[in-house]
Chain A
Amino acid sequence: MKHSGYHSRFGGAFIPEILQTTFDELEIAYLTAKDDPTFWAEYMHLMGTYSCRPTPITFAENLTNHFGGAQIYIKREDLNHTGAHKANNVMGQGLLTKRMGKTRVIAETGAGQHGVATATMAAKFGFDCTIYMGAVDVERQRPNVFWMEQLGATVVPVTDGSGTLKDAINEAFRDWVTNMDNTHYALGTACGPYPFPDMVTWFQSVIGTEAREQIQTYAGRLPSRAYACVGGGSNAMGLFSGFMDDKEVELVGVEAGGRGPGMGEHAARLAYDDASVGVAQGYKTYFLQDKDGQMQETHSISAGLDYVGVSPILAHLHETKRVRFEAAEDKDVVAAMSLTIKKEGLIPALETSHAFAQAFKEAPEMDKDEVILINQSGRADKDIFTVADALKDPKWEEFIIAKAKEYSNA
C-alpha cells in the first residue's frame, strides 16, 4: 500500500529512521480518513460551525472598473476563523490527531499565522501545544506570539540557522523525533515529506471546490485565470485543485519577488532562475541553495512567503506547465494592498497581496467579458505592525512611541 509520494520527480519522504513508524501511521490515518465519508462530513461540519465555511466570493466591482479589463472576483479565505486559509489545514489535522489518539501538537510558524491557527485548534481540541518560531520572527511578530501564549501554547524561539521559517521546521522535527508517541506535527503548508504535501492539499481543496461552484453561479462562467500567492504552496494548491481539470482555466502562482532577481533578494523558487532541485526538510523540490546544496538566505516583505523550498506538487505542475509562476516585488505588493484597501474595503495579508499585484498587472489587458479569480488567503488587520511599517505610516509610529513612554513611566 505504500505510496511513493512522488509527483513526477518531486516529493518523496527523506526522513530519519526514527520517524519511519510515525510516518507509516500517519499515512494510514490519512488514507483511511480520505476513504471515509464520515470523516469529511465531520470536517465540513466543524468548518461550517467553527470557521466560516463556505467562505463567499466577492465581486470586486470598483477594482474591475478601475482597471477596465477582466472582471475581478475574490475568494474570501480571510473570513476563516483566525483570518487565513491556514485554519482549513489545521482543523483537518486536528481531527486526524484525535483519530490517532495523540494528545499533543507541535508546529512551525513564520509570520505566526499558522502558529495562531494551530494554538487555536489545540485549545479547541484540548491538546498540549508547542510552536517553534524563528527568533527573528518572534521579535517582529509579537502580537501573534501574544495570542499563541494566551491560547495556551508554548512558543519556542529558534535561534539556530537564519532564525526563520526553515529553522523552525528543523526544530519541530527535532521535537517530533523525541516525542512522536504522543505528538503530531501539524506542518503548515503543502511541503515536507509525503504524506504532508498531499494531505495538506486535500484539506485545502475545500477552497477550490467551493470557488468553482460559486464563480459559475455568480459570474456565470469559469475564470480565465485563477491567482494565488505561493509560500509553501498550500493556499495555491487548495484553489488550483478545484480547477485542475478545467484546461481553459489558467492557474497562476505568485511568489515573493522581494527586491528582484538575484540570490538572497527574493523567495521565488520557480518564477526566477536562482533555485535548483535538491533534497532538504524531508522532500525533493526546487530550493534556493548554492552549488553545494547549502540553503541560502531569502528575502520577502511577507514572512509567510519567505521560505527556501516550495511544494513538490507545484514543482511538478511548473514542469508540466499546468501552472504559470510569476513573482511580485515588495513595492508592487504594498501598492496592490493599499489599492485593494481603498477601493474595496478589503484588507489582504501581505502574502495574499502578491496574488493581487500580479492580477492587477494582467487584468487591464484582458477583455471585459473575461473573469479572473484571486484567492484572498488571509487578512492583514492583525498584522498591523508589519503593515504599518510597510506603509511607513508616521501617525502609527508616533502612537507606538507614545505607548512605549506610557509603559516605561508606569
Chain B
Amino acid sequence: MLEQYIRDKRKEKDLLLMTHIVLGYPSYDHSMRMVESMVEAGVDLMELQIPFSEPMADGSVILRANAEALKSGATVEKSLEMAEKITAAFDIPFLFMTYYNILYRNGVTHFVDNMKRIGIQGSIIPDLPPEEAEEYLAAMAKNELCPIHIYTPNTSEERLKFLGEKSEGFVYVTARKGVTGKDTAFDQDIADYLGKCRKATDLPLALGFGVKSREDMEFIKGKADIAVVGSESIRVMEEQGVKAVGGFIKSLIL
C-alpha cells in the first residue's frame, strides 16, 4: 500500500518529500500544528517520532527535542493518541520513528497492533537490526505494515540485499555516517552510493541526513525517490516559530 502510494506519487513528481517531527515537542499542540503546516505545504509523507530518553542515533537537535518533550510530560500513550488524531485529520501516510525499548516495554505485538488500529503505515526503529527483530517483523507482516530498514555508506552489498528483503514500502538511506542533524556534502560519492542501493533493492529509496535546501533537493532528484528533512524543520520551528515551517517546506519542493 505504502509502496504503491509512493509509486503513484512519483508519476506526478520527480522527488517526494518526507518530514520528521518529535511528538510532544515542544507540546502536543505544536505537533498538530507542525503536521498541519507541513501537509498544507505539500509534504508527501511524515515520520512521527515517539520520544525516548536515550536516542542514540540522533544528533543534538532531535536529541534535545526528545528530552524536552519528555520533560514537558510526553508519554507513549499520549503520543499514540496524538498520532491517531493526526492520521484521522490528514490524508498522507504517517510512519512511526522510535527506539526499540518503546515497543519492547509496550509489548512488541501489542504496540504493532495499535499502530495498525490508529492508521500508522510503517515504522523506522534505528536500534533494531533484523537479527533482533523476529517478533517485530512477524507482527508487522501480520498487520500488513511496513518495516523500514536503513542503508548506510558502509553497509556491505550482501547486507544491502538482506535489508531490502526485510523492508516494505521503501528503504531509508542515510547520506553519510554519523547522527542526524549535521551537514552533508552532496557529491559524486553519494550518487555512486545511491546507485549501489538501487541495485540492491526494487523498493523506492528515501535519502536523509543533512537535507535542508532546495539545492540538496535538486541534487537528490533522479537519484532517490524521497528526500527526508528532519532536524532542519525542527530548527526552523525553534528559530522562527511553527508559522515559518510551511514556508520553509514550500521553498524546498521542486
User: Which positions in A face B, CB cutoff 8 Å?
Assistant: 12-18, 20-22, 160-161, 166, 170, 173-174, 177-180, 276, 278-282, 289, 291-295
Contact = CB atoms under 8 A, between A and B. Distances in A.
A292 B76 contact: yes
A16 B56 contact: yes
Nearest to B178: A178
Contacts of A278: 101, 104-105
Contacts of B179: 174, 177-178
A293 B70 CA distance: 12
A16 B63 contact: no
A281 B67 CA distance: 16
Contact of B101 (A15, A21, A160, A289): A289
B91 to A, nearest CB: 30
A21 B63 CA distance: 25
Which of A178, A280, A282 gathers most chain B CB within 10 Å? A280
B2 interface: no
B247 interface: no
Contacts of A279: 100-101, 104, 127
Contacts of B96: none
Contacts of A170: 54-56
B213 interface: no
B132 interface: yes
Given A17-B163, A292-B102, 18 more contacts: A14-B100, A17-B149, A17-B150, A17-B152, A18-B153, A18-B178, A160-B67, A161-B67, A173-B56, A174-B178, A177-B57, A179-B177, A279-B127, A281-B54, A293-B52, A293-B76, A294-B52, A294-B53
A177 B149 CA distance: 17
B93 interface: no
Interface of B: 52-57, 59-60, 63-64, 67, 70, 75-76, 99-102, 104-106, 126-129, 131-132, 149-156, 159, 163, 174, 177-179
13 contacts: A15-B127, A17-B149, A17-B163, A18-B152, A18-B153, A160-B60, A161-B54, A177-B178, A180-B154, A180-B177, A278-B105, A279-B100, A293-B52
A281 B56 contact: yes
A348 B55 CA distance: 36
A177 B182 CA distance: 13
A278 B102 CA distance: 9
Which of A170, A179, A291 gathers most chain B CB within 10 Å? A170
B105 A17 contact: no
Given A16-B56, A170-B54, A293 B104 contact: yes
B127 A20 contact: no
Contact of A292 (B105, B128, B129, B163): B105
B132 A16 contact: no
B164 to A, nearest CB: 12
Contacts of A174: 56, 59, 178-179
A21 B67 contact: no
A20 B63 contact: no
A295 B53 contact: yes
Q: Which 4 A-B pairs have the closest CB atoms?
A: A293-B105, A293-B101, A178-B178, A18-B152
